[in-house]
A = this chain, B = another copy of it.
């Protein structure tokens, strides 16, 4: 039997470690969506998490697990997304520096958000090689610890606490659906949910325009994502070296949805639930409303993670 980067005890430890620091987010329901889905849906509102996304769980777990000596030197990551904000805030809450490498092309609003949480930005060229070079230079210079956005045991364990809480609030779930990009949330939730309730089914929700996890599951081997094309801009990356084995063995299936389905689900959530979810955050709801998912037997009570709510609202009618 293979060993995995993350197991239930690691998630339970993470839950203890981050208690009182991260929000225990509410679980919400909506009769209209239930009617459309033909299932009873329970939405775990990580869009209401601090920094507006579940990423704060993993970042907090990783930052809090550092020894005082390690922590004093700070943390580093390269990200232009929710993980950058999450790590910046988690570091500030521990009173340590966060060095965030961002491509110079990143939108001003994202840089401002990271700086708003106290992160120190280092700009790099917009490619993976230069991002890694800049991050490694920062590590060498400061002695800070690199905390990657998903492929790290403490990050995966932290994200898994989402499923722990969901099952505490709704113990009789038949299935859990989470979005999958790098796979930190999905892998952590799979480990937590199956650890707590062996019979539960765990599904990934993936945009068709970045469907490496679905293709990997079909092929039985990890395939990488090239040229992703979807509005779900938090789900562009491939699964990781640590997340893929868990997804391969402990996730039942990956469902894919089109951008139109994501937009329609997002609109339903905004209109009927009055909750702002970002496109990546609505992919689980889009799956639940899809005909493929409805055709599934035995999934009557389904937990769905709204993974984030960080949408640029500049273009609305203020």
List A residues at the B interface (Cβ < 8 Å). Answer: 26, 28, 47-48, 52, 263-264, 266-267, 270-271, 273-277, 309, 313, 315-318
Starting from the known contacts A48-B273, A264-B318, A267-B316, 19 additional A-B residue pairs (CB-CB under 8 Å) come to A26-B26, A28-B48, A47-B274, A48-B274, A263-B318, A266-B318, A267-B313, A267-B318, A270-B276, A270-B313, A270-B316, A271-B313, A274-B275, A274-B276, A274-B309, A275-B275, A275-B276, A315-B317, A316-B316
What B residues does A316 contact at CB under 8 A? 267, 270, 316
B residues less than 8 Å from A276 (CB atoms): 270, 274-276
A28 proximity list for chain B (CB < 8 A):
48
A301 to chain B, nearest CB (A): 20
Q: State the CA gap A276–B266 with chains docked (Å).
A: 13
Instruction: Look across to chain B and name the residue whose beta carbon is closest to the beta carbon of A275.
Output: B274
> A47 CA to B227 CA in the complex, in Å?
40
Smallest distance from the beta carbon of A169 to chain B beta carbons, Å?
A: 13
Between-chain CB contacts (< 8 Å), 25 pairs: A26-B26, A28-B48, A47-B274, A48-B273, A48-B274, A52-B274, A263-B318, A264-B318, A266-B318, A267-B313, A267-B316, A267-B318, A270-B276, A270-B313, A270-B316, A271-B313, A274-B275, A274-B276, A274-B277, A274-B309, A275-B275, A275-B276, A276-B276, A315-B317, A316-B316
Q: In the complex, what distance in Å separates the CA atom of A318 from the CA atom of B266?
A: 9
> In the docked arrangement, what's the CA distance between A112 and B199, Å?
43
Which B residue sits closest to A269, measured CB to CB? B276
Rounded to whole angstroms, the CA-CA distance of A238 and B54 in the bound complex is 45
The CA of A29 and the CA of B263, in the complex, are separated in Å by: 28
Question: Nearest Cβ distance between residue A187 and chain B, in whole angstroms?
Answer: 25
The 9 closest A-B pairs by CB, nearest first: A274-B309, A274-B276, A47-B274, A263-B318, A267-B318, A48-B274, A271-B313, A270-B313, A270-B276
CA distance A48 to B28 in the complex (A): 10
| Nearest B residue to A276, CB-CB | B274
